[in-house]
Structure 1
Amino acid sequence: MKNLFKIALTALMLLSVESYAQESIIPEIKYADLEKYIDLAKQNYTKIKILDAKTESIKTAIPIAAVSYLDPFSGSYFYRPTGKTVIDPLNPYNVNGFQFGINLNLGAYLQKPFQAKKAKYDYKVAQLEQKDNEIQVTLEVKKRYYDYIQQIAALKIFTQSAQDSKSVAESLRNRFEKGEITLEAYNQSRIIQTNAFTSKIQAEANYLRAKDLLEEIVGQKLSDIK
């Protein structure tokens, strides 16, 4: 039991060395890279493109609303040959030659100023939504970048821990073969080694997921960004 306590204590000390070596991820943050990722996300992220297209579509409603002031007006003409009798029992006001007329749908005409105003407000709302979306994308890029840096740091820690636990296990195996420690103590070191390697594998998976999420919003592989 005494040997087992020493083994566990030694392993824990080794697994903790690298953790204390890096107490913060802040020095690892590269703000120049972060700004590049934000700019690329604003250019490439699908949600940004969709909202940009939506804003431009709404913008076209403004000139359309201005031109539509002519919609309530309609023109017509009537032609009566000059050789015909002017007197027309059905329409005594009918005369020879061309007759022109303009019709106005008053209800439709009165709606036009409100439709134009609505088009302008819709465009303003779309612009505000666009700005808000850019803010949200900026925050999301930062979140994913910080998580990416965190997972890199975690992977380094667990990789070092796995290497240390492997060294401890190999050392204790030699001591076990020489009869210096018990089988129980040796098995305990193997369990610690297994746990360390399991943690390393989980850290690798977390790192890959964080990298994929950052690349997804940036729109490019990080290795391709100069």
Structure 2
Amino acid sequence: MKTFFKLTLALLMFFSLDTFAQESIIGEVNYKDLEKYITLARQNFPRKQLLDTRVEGAHTAIPINTLSYLDIFSASYFYRPDNNPVITAPGVPNANPYSVNGVQLGINLNLGSFLAKPYLGKRAKAEYKIAKLEAEEYGNTLVVEVKKRYYAYIQQITQLKINTQSVQDNKNVADNLKYKFEKGEISLDTYNQSRINLSSALTSKIQSEVSLLTAKDALEEIIGMKLSDVK
């Protein structure tokens, strides 16, 4: 009789494990939700925002460099009233330092800045291209990371379901063997083993709950909002 109940317990555990092994997360993946999470990560994740801002700044530098061509020119003027005589004789107290009266205009050209402008323009365009490529590269990395965290989240949901079912199955076995033990139909060792199995199942369930919360926090971190707030 004891051998029979040990065999029964072993078979119950075997069929439970066999059922769990057939579980799959493929059907649990919601690709519409995944696309929402990717979009939110692109909008909210700080590093992505930083790189996008850098691209915007680099792009703005291009027209600024073009307009700065005006900086290489400088204009000046001098004004001498027309009613002041033009006196150039040395030693005269009211000598006029200008050769003519009226307004005198002057334009100066900074030759070094003028020659450097085309190269500065090329550098601005190159920096914009680099910033854009870096943002695109990180955008691809971000998509992969969102998928990774989402799949981990789904995996933990499925694992928790399995462990919850395992707890229920082991509890049913333990309760049944407790009844038989009290009737003297099985040994103490067989009953104790069922309790050990139940305790192990409960521990696995608690661990999977913690893992699920951790995976959920990681996914919410990258999308920038709580999953319950995602519409």
TM-score normalised to the size of structure 1? 0.89
Question: Do 2:86 and 2:98's aligned partners in 1 also have CA atoms closer than 8 Å?
Answer: no
Residue 116 in 1 paired to residue 121 in 2? yes
Cα separation, 2, equivalents of 1:104 and 1:4: 103
- Post-superposition Cα deviations, 1:184-215, rounded to whole Å, max 9, x if no partner, equal 22222111111110001111111111112112
Cα separation, 1, equivalents of 2:202 and 2:16: 12
**Letter matched to residue 78 of structure 1:** F
Deviation (angstroms), 1:21: 3.9
Which of 186, 207, 212 in structure 1 is aligned with 2:212? Answer: 207
- Post-superposition Cα deviations, 1:136-193, rounded to whole Å, max 9, x if no partner, equal 1111111111111111111111110011111111111112211222222222211111
Cα separation, 1, equivalents of 2:18 and 2:78: 99
Question: Do 1:80 and 1:98's aligned partners in 2 also have CA atoms closer than 8 Å?
Answer: yes
**1:60 alignment partner, SS class:** helix
C-alpha spacing 1:88/1:33, structure 2 compared with 1 (3 Å): farther
Greater displacement, 88-97 / 36-45 = 88-97
Structure 1: stretches of 5+ with no match in the other structure: none
Cα separation, 1, equivalents of 2:217 and 2:19: 26
C-alpha spacing 1:5/1:129, structure 2 compared with 1 (3 Å): same
What are the within-5 Å matches in structure 2 for residues 83-162 of structure 1?
A: 83-87=84-88, 89=90, 94-162=99-167
RMSD: 2.3
Deviation (angstroms), 1:17: 4.3
Partner of 2:21: 20
**1:101 alignment partner, SS class:** strand
C-alpha spacing 1:188/1:94, structure 2 compared with 1 (3 Å): same
Greater displacement, 116-125 / 44-53 = 44-53
- Post-superposition Cα deviations, 1:52-104, rounded to whole Å, max 9, x if no partner, equal 22211222111110111111211112223332334254998732222221222
Partner of 2:185: 180
Deviation (angstroms), 1:19: 0.7
Deviation (angstroms), 1:16: 0.8
Question: Do 1:144 and 1:210's aligned partners in 2 also have CA atoms closer than 8 Å?
Answer: yes
Partner of 1:39: 39
Question: Do 1:14 and 1:161's aligned partners in 2 also have CA atoms closer than 8 Å?
Answer: no
Partner of 1:68: 68
Partner of 1:51: 51
Deviation (angstroms), 1:50: 1.7
C-alpha spacing 1:87/1:192, structure 2 compared with 1 (3 Å): same
State the aligned residue count: 225
Cα separation, 2, equivalents of 1:112 and 1:16: 73
Question: Do 2:86 and 2:96's aligned partners in 1 also have CA atoms closer than 8 Å?
Answer: no
Deviation (angstroms), 1:221: 2.3
Partner of 1:6: 7
TM-score normalised to the size of structure 2? 0.87
